[in-house]
Every structure is written in C-alpha cells, then in structure tokens.
Structure 1
Amino acid sequence: MTSITIATLPRMTREVLSNILLSSNASKVAIIDVRDSDHVGGHIFSSTWIPSTTLEAHIPELIRTLKDKEQVVFHCALSQQRGPSAALKYARERASVLGFEEGAKQKVYVLDGGFLRWQEKYGTDERLTKAYEKDIWLEY
C-alpha cells in the first residue's frame, strides 16, 4: 500500500486546466470523466468518459494507454466523491504496477469543482467544452 490518500491528491483548478488545453502542452495531459448518467450536457474537450461504475475494469488499460502523459486529471460532476475516488484508485494501482517511484513520475489530479464549476466558466467555449447544452445546467 502506498501513502497516497484522498487528502494528498492535488487539485487542479479549472483555470490551470483550461490554460493547459489551450497551450502546446495539451497533449501531455489526459482528462478522465467518471460521471455516470450525469455525463449528459457536455464534456471537457479531449476528455475520456469512463463511468465510475466501470472504472475498476478500465484501470489496467488506463495505466498502459496513459503511460506517456505527464498529468492525468480526474473529475465527476462536483469532484467530491467519484472523481477523487477514481483518481486515488488509479494512482495507487499505477504505483503498485510500476513501483512507487516510477508511478509518482506522473502527476494525478482531481479537477477542483468538477464539471459543474468547469461549465460555469467554459461551457460555451467550444475550444474547451464539447456537446454543451446550457439548458441542462441552468437548474444548478
């Protein structure tokens, strides 16, 4: 077991993530969206949707396919439960498979405020958000 905990997982702000996505460093980051049925209404550009209910089965594949990414950012709707839990599972499994030192070379983050906060600022920005449906988010 590693010393990675929910409390030690760093948060990434929406501003930092948007700056990365709009920069030449966009290819160095992976965004994993672990919302379930609440995935409707839009998603962050270039994100990969893996519902939290299926994440466990996808972690080995993620470790392989994301091996060259410098940063991996997990999020759900609010990034209070599913996003942090998914990030923790991924980080621990990566450290277990690759060894703690090698696993730590990739930074794993949780998107602060999740998609709810993201869409408030970037929902209508088509460079950053895809398939956005503002009406779905008006009630939030």
Structure 2
Amino acid sequence: MSSVTIANLPRITRDELAQRLRTPSPSSIAIIDVRDSDHVGGHIRSSMHVPSSSLDFKIPELIRTLEDKETVVFHCALSQQRGPSAALRYIRERDRILRVERKSWGQKVVVLDGGFVKWQEKYGEDKNLTEAYQKDLWEYGY
C-alpha cells in the first residue's frame, strides 16, 4: 500500500506549473481539474475536466490514458480537499493496478498549490496558459 497521504502529497506551485507548460514539450504533463459546478470562469489550458462527483468511475480510464505522462497534476478551486483527495485516490488505484500487473511507472502525482483560485490570480488573463477566462467572475474573489 502507498505511504502517500493527504498530508504528504507533493505540491507544485502555479509558477512551476506555468514554466512546465511553457516548455517545448508540455505533453509530458497532464492536468486534471476536478472542480464540479464551480468549473466556471476559466480553466488551465490543456487540462482535463473530470468532476470529483464522477471521479470514482473515471479513475481506471484516467490511469490508462495517463500512463505515458511523467507528471499528473490534480487541482480543484483551492486544492485543499477535492484536488488532494482525487490525487490520493488516483495514486492508490494506480498502485493497486500496477501491483496486479507487476508493473512500475516513474510517474509523479502532485497537487496544484492554491488550486485554480491562485492560478487565475496570476495567469487568468494569459491566453497561452488559461482558456475561457472570465475576469468578471473572479473580480471579487472566490
């Protein structure tokens, strides 16, 4: 069983993620946005929207789809509950499958520190990093 817990899940800052997305090969990273009805006002370019409410039955598909990714980033609005929970569920199911299949990956799973709320404060209006951004929805905070 994995020794990763909510408390010790690795984090990535918004600046580190932005830098990774600006590299010539951003395809080695996958971003999973687990916001539910609060998935409004924009999203990180190239992110996959997988609402936390549907995550349980989507995880096996995600594991297969993301097998070739070096890094998988999970986030929600603040990355305090849904994002870390989703990352932990992904890690546990991935590790279970790998044990059964006797495989190993070097994939790193991280959580976006501060979630989309912090992301949009700095990168919301950057069209290279954020899509469908609606500044007026964020004007007065989350």
Q: TM exceeds 0.5?
A: yes
Normalising by structure 1, report the TM-score: 0.96
| AA of the residue aligned to 2:50 | I
Unaligned runs of 5+ in 1: none
Aligned equivalents of 2:136, 2:104: Cα separation in 1: 44
Q: Which contiguous aligned blocks of 4+ residues in structure 1 show a shift greater than 3 angstroms?
A: none
Aligned residues: 139
Q: Give the structure-2-normalised TM-score.
A: 0.95
Distance in 2 between the 1:11 and 1:2 partners? 17
Q: Give ranges in structure 2 of 5+ residues lacking alignment.
A: none
> Residue 50 of structure 1 aligns with which residue?
50
**Cα shift at 1:72:** 0.1
Per-residue deviation, 1:4: 1.5
1:82-137 deviations in whole A, cap 9, x for unaligned?
A: 0000000001111111139715x100000000000000000000000000000001
Kindly provide the amino acid, as one letter, of the partner of residue 112 in structure 1.
Answer: D
Percent same amino acid among aligned pairs? 64
Instruction: Report the Cα offset of residue 25 of structure 1.
Output: 2.8
| 1:94 correspondence with 2:106 | no
The aligned amino acid for 2:129 is L
C-alpha RMSD of matched pairs (Å): 1.2
Alignment check: 8 A CA contact 1:123 1:134 kept: yes
Secondary structure, counterpart of 1:57 in structure 2:
helix
